[in-house]
């Protein structure tokens, strides 16, 4: 295996095949097509990619400052940690697919508890469903989550970093800068959030924000009163029409595959599995009805179109790795069209588009505040303290941001590896500014303009070679900052 700075091609090719195999396994299991989540055979087949020696060799190549080499170094380190934790990850996936809870005399699968919460109108039953989920999480899943967290921490020291946080700073993640933006965003949108969510909870759930509980949140976002405007049979036609307006024929994309069937063991969390980039891209959602389905479909369609248009000539670090705020930004751009009054009027002949847009934007504010708090908590979690002592820190961070108490049982399961929360936050910032640029250039109905589609395809072609910051500077001459998200939200919500 070649890993010298001038000879990384062999490592790149093997890395590409390794990621393809992982994405296919991820797709098959989490789409509910395969019972077991079998990572071990894949890691064994590509064992030379994820050794400590490989990390050190690729790390030496990254000392040149070449971004591609740095991305390969991050990939090697994450592969090393993934190899060490794959057994626990397999067991968690097996448990999530096989565990059931008994609620009110009936059994319900663990992965269906969250959808059941969202679709349950009875508040007391929602509480019982939530307590069942929390009990299974604490008793069955958390021992494995804790083992993973401890293993990653130990592995980090072997990789030469004092902490997980320091390791990602070496990869170029702007953690301190983003933390400052998060603190400012939370402070500046506090009053707006409390006012908007108090109205929303009273209207949708029948309780004020101060009386809301965590089991009310999924029901709030289910937004059943809007179901008639977001019919299941209209989802794909609306997506097809939107892409057609941009000059993209979804049905003619042989490299794009849609999986929208409901299966008992399919994860409720929508995802895109780019098994081959750009050759075979899977778009997967688990339908539960209403606006959430539409947001999920359009979000994953953003990922899908990005990967499907990525140049096949790019190296693996630009096709599959790179700044994930880029692909998340493209996903947000299409997802948030569903909230746009101009899009609702054009594509759905929607009743009360302004009212829906205000409610949906309040939801956006909730999620950005949630991820801001989550990111700040993750910085604390990875600073080196005892993991179990972080339970209360998780509850305090989230409750301060959302004004609703969360379960401490989620203090590890709510953490995505690799500071992925930072990618979501920067993606929202990227999307807010890019959307403004597209509206200025092509009008409020920019999504109907072939010229806008040509620009998007040109940018998608670059994969993730440029960072979100570089893309936004090139296109709009602007910076990636959460201030743009604040401005976008205030446009729609009146305090």
Report d(CA 217, CA 206) in Å as an integer: 12
417-433 per-residue burial string, b: 16 or more CB within 10 A, e: under 16 = ebbbbbbbbbbbbbbbb
Q: Please, what's the largest Cα pairwise distance for the chain?
A: 64
**Out of 41-45, 397-401, 451-455, which region has the weakest mean confidence (pLDDT)?**
41-45
Report whether pLDDT(288) > 80.
no
pLDDT of the residue at 265: 84
Per-residue model confidence (pLDDT) at position 7: 53
Whether the per-residue pLDDT at 264 is higher than 90: the answer is no
Q: What is the mean pLDDT of the chain?
A: 93
User: Is residue 5 scored above 50 in pLDDT?
Assistant: no
Which position has the higher pLDDT, 4 or 40? 40
Place 391 in a pLDDT band, splitting at 50, 70 and 90.
very high
- The whole-model pTM stands at 0.92
Q: What is the pLDDT of residue 365?
A: 97
pLDDT digits (tens, 9 = 90+) for 164-181: 999 999 999 999 999 999
Q: Stretch 31-46: mean pLDDT, rounded?
A: 92
pLDDT of residue 71: 95
Is 355 a residue whose pLDDT tops 70? yes
Q: What's the Cα-to-Cα distance from 379 to each of 75, 178, 425, rounded to whole Å?
A: 21, 11, 14
pLDDT at 2: 44
Q: Lowest mean pLDDT: which of 2-11, 341-350, 354-363?
A: 2-11
pLDDT band per the 50, 70, 90 thresholds, residue 289: low
Alpha-carbon span 238 to 298, nearest angstrom: 10
- pLDDT tens, position by position, 84-99: 999 999 999 999 989 9
- Give the residue among 366, 324, 295 at the shortest CA–CA distance from 463: 324
pLDDT band, residue 495 (cuts 50/70/90) = very low
The stretch 270-274 carries a mean pLDDT of 92
Q: How confident is the model at residue 292 (pLDDT cuts 50, 70, 90)?
A: confident
187-206 pLDDT, tens per residue? 999 999 999 999 999 999 99
Q: Give per-residue pLDDT as tens, 221-231.
A: 888 889 889 98
Q: pLDDT of 51-81, one tens digit each?
A: 999 999 999 999 989 999 999 999 999 999 9
Give the percent of the chain with pLDDT over 70: 98
Give the mean pLDDT of 19-38.
Answer: 94
pLDDT, one tens digit per residue, over 303-350 is 999 999 999 999 999 999 999 999 999 999 999 999 999 999 998 878
The pLDDT tens digits for 395-437 are 999 999 999 999 999 999 999 899 999 999 999 999 999 999 9
């Amino acid at each position: 295996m070649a890993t010298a700075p001038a000879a990384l091609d062999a490592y790149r090719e093997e890395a590409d095949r390794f990621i393809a195999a992982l994405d296919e396994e991820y797709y098959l299991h989490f789409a509910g097509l395969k019972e077991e989540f079998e990572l071990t055979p894949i890691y064994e087949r590509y064992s030379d990619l994820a050794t400590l020696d490989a990390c050190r060799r690729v790390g030496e190549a990254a000392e040149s400052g070449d971004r591609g080499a740095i991305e390969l170094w991050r990939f090697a380190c994450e592969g090393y940690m993934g190899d060490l934790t794959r057994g626990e990850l397999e067991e968690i996936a097996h448990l999530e697919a096989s565990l059931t809870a008994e609620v009110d005399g009936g059994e319900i699968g663990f992965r269906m508890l969250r959808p059941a919460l969202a679709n349950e109108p009875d508040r007391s039953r929602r509480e019982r469903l939530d307590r069942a989920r929390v009990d299974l999480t604490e008793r069955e899943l958390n021992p494995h989550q804790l083992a993973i967290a401890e293993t990653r921490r130990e592995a980090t020291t072997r990789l030469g970093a004092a902490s997980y946080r320091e390791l990602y700073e070496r990869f170029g993640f702007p953690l301190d800068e983003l933390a400052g933006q998060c603190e400012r965003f939370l402070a500046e949108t506090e009053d707006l959030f409390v006012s908007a969510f108090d109205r929303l909870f009273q209207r949708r759930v029948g309780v004020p924000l101060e009386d809301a509980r965590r089991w009310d949140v999924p029901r709030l976002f289910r937004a059943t009163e809007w179901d008639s405007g977001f019919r299941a049979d209209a989802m794909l036609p609306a997506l097809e029409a939107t892409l057609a307006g941009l000059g993209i024929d979804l049905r003619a994309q042989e490299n794009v595959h849609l999986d929208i069937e409901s299966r008992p063991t399919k994860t409720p969390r929508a995802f895109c599995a780019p098994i081959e980039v750009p050759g075979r891209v899977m778009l997967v959602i688990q339908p539960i009805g209403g606006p959430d389905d539409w947001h999920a479909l359009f979000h994953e369609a953003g990922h899908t179109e990005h990967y499907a248009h990525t140049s096949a000539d790019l190296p693996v670090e630009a096709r599959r790795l790179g700044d994930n705020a880029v692909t998340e930004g493209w996903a947000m751009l299409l997802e948030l069209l569903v909230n746009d009054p101009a899009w609702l009027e054009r594509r759905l002949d929607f009743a009360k588009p302004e009212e829906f847009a205000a409610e949906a934007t309040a939801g956006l504010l909730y999620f950005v505040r949630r991820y801001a708090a989550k990111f700040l908590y993750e910085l604390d979690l990875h600073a080196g303290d005892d993991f179990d002592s972080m339970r209360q820190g998780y509850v305090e961070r989230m409750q301060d941001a959302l004004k609703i108490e969360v379960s401490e049982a989620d203090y590890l399961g709510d953490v995505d590896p690799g500071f992925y929360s930072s990618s979501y936050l920067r993606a929202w910032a990227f999307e807010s500014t890019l959307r403004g640029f597209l509206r200025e250039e092509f009008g409020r109905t920019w999504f109907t303009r072939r010229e806008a589609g040509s620009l998007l395809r040109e940018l998608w072609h670059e994969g993730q070679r440029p960072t979100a910051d570089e893309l936004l500077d090139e296109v709009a001459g602007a910076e990636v900052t959460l201030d743009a998200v604040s401005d976008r939200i205030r446009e729609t919500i009146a305090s």
